Amino acid sequence: MNGAYAVTADQLGARLEQEIATRGHFRGREPEATEELVRALWSVRRRFGITRVGSLTRLDRAGVAVAQVVRPLSLSNAVSQGKGANLMEAAASALMEALECWAAERIAPERIKVATARDLGDEVRNLYAGCRVHGFDAGWDQLQLGWTEGYDLFSARVLPVPVAMVDTIYTLPSPHPVAFPRSTRGLAAGRTVLAAIIHAALEVLERASVAEAERYPRSYPELRIDPSSVSGPLASQVLGRLKASDLVAGIWLAPAEHNLPVFRCQVIETEGHREIAPMPGEGFACDFTHDRALAAALMEAAQARVTALAGGREDITRMSYPERHDRKYLDARRHAFRSSSETVPFPAEYDEPASGAAALTALLSALKAAGALAALVVPLYSDKDPDIDVVRLVVPPLRDLGE
């Protein structure tokens, strides 16, 4: 693996400081840079086991570009998908998602230590006690578990992280005892370590906020947003495309202890066309501004429709395609999405952070406000051909839906 693991956990802090000091804005803005990334990844696709990059956009009429990347020898999903305002953005998103899982399958054996949580001390045991899947057996701290190293962004220390919360080896039987939830939350790729961390942290906050809103009793009930009040340029553009395609959106803001916006969206067809996908597609997103977060959630909801239509992912099972749909439920959803009753206006906009340092500071504050005890970055892959960094951000004890 050319260039893999060029960054270790104990080197990550210095690397991050250097990037913050030498780079300006944390977002890649130029379409040319996106196309350059796609071409570079395509040229080295065999290194990552990628055999196909295709467009699924025309399976639906939503006006959101969706790309598919196939990696047949994957140890999790062999099919990755990405979305964007155009095909290059969608292809870049799908390729980076495929790289994330590829990197998380390949943690080198020398980076793994086998021990019990009790062996590693009370600090480590207490840190992960709240992460156990479904309140797993109290004797979990005596299990022989694999551990790797992560750099804690809160304390600037290197601490042990359970490999089960890092890797994406989802084969059966599992290589790990059933102790911690298995998901891809916090797995992210970027052109820099900083970009990857920001991407990962936004996803962790999104999942944790939605899970908190879904729990009963709901401490932070979701607020439904009136779509006609949406004023941001990015979100308005996506809503315009959906409306032109006879699709209607339901939009909810998931309030939380932190102040970053998290949206949940559902997209469903109106009666104006013969149904293609008679089900609401659902999407979620968190970002620094309401406009960016809502636009991303809407595009993910549109992507979910295409995912169901394509039927190419292993996690899209027969259960996703019932023989009969509940027509009363679907009609009620359409009616509710069109109604402005019991809605609130689109919130006043936040200013986006002016720099990567400001973005990281805002994210760390949001994670702490959400209840995080640590923010552990596990570097998984780093290379210069092309410039790609993949990390896993583990944030105990924040939880996902179903955990």
User: What ranges do the domains of the chain cover?
Assistant: 214-338
Average pLDDT, the chain: 90
Contact 391, 196 (CB under 8 A): yes
Contact 68, 80 (CB under 8 A): yes
Give the per-residue pLDDT at 218.
Answer: 55
Average pLDDT over residues 322-344: 86
Give the per-residue pLDDT at 224.
Answer: 93
Residue 278, class by beta-carbon neighbours within 10 Å (0-12 exposed, 13-18 middle, 19+ buried)? middle
Residue 244, class by beta-carbon neighbours within 10 Å (0-12 exposed, 13-18 middle, 19+ buried)? exposed
Give the per-residue pLDDT at 3.
Answer: 42
Average pLDDT over residues 132-160: 92
| pLDDT higher at 110 or 135 | 110
Find the range with the poorest average confidence among 111-120, 131-140, 227-236.
131-140
Average pLDDT over residues 376-403: 91
Block residue for tokens 């919360």 = 165
Q: Is the pLDDT of residue 158 over 80?
A: yes
Tokens of 255: 């309030």
Give the per-residue pLDDT at 20.
Answer: 87
Give the per-residue pLDDT at 1.
Answer: 43
pLDDT tens-digit readout, 46-68: 999 999 999 999 999 899 999 99
Q: Is the pLDDT of residue 266 over 80?
A: yes
Rounded distance, CA 290 to CA 28, Å? 19
Give the per-residue pLDDT at 270.
Answer: 87
Give the per-residue pLDDT at 217.
Answer: 56
Nearest to 5 by CA among 380, 357, 307: 380
Block residue for tokens 């479904």 = 134
Average pLDDT over residues 220-226: 84
Q: CA angle 258-262-360, nearest 5°?
A: 55
Neighbours of 384 (CB within 10 A): 9
Banded model confidence at residue 24, pLDDT cuts 50, 70, 90: low
Average pLDDT over residues 276-300: 93
Query: Per mean pLDDT, which of 199-208, 222-231, 382-391 is the most reliable?
Result: 199-208
Rounded distance, CA 11 to CA 6, Å? 9
Average pLDDT over residues 23-27: 71
> How is domain 214-338 classified at the architecture level of CATH?
2-Layer Sandwich (3.30)
Give the per-residue pLDDT at 138.
Answer: 79
Rounded distance, CA 216 to CA 98, Å? 35
Banded model confidence at residue 31, pLDDT cuts 50, 70, 90: confident
Average pLDDT over residues 255-275: 86
| pLDDT higher at 252 or 219 | 252
Classify each residue of 83-99 as buried b or exposed e, where b means 16 or more C-beta atoms within 10 Å of its C-beta.
bbbebbbbbbbbbbbbb
Neighbours of 37 (CB within 10 A): 20
Tokens of 254: 């998931």
How far out from the chain centre does Cα 327 lie? 31
Average pLDDT over residues 355-371: 95
Element (H, E) at 224: strand 223-225
Rounded distance, CA 242 to CA 253, Å? 19
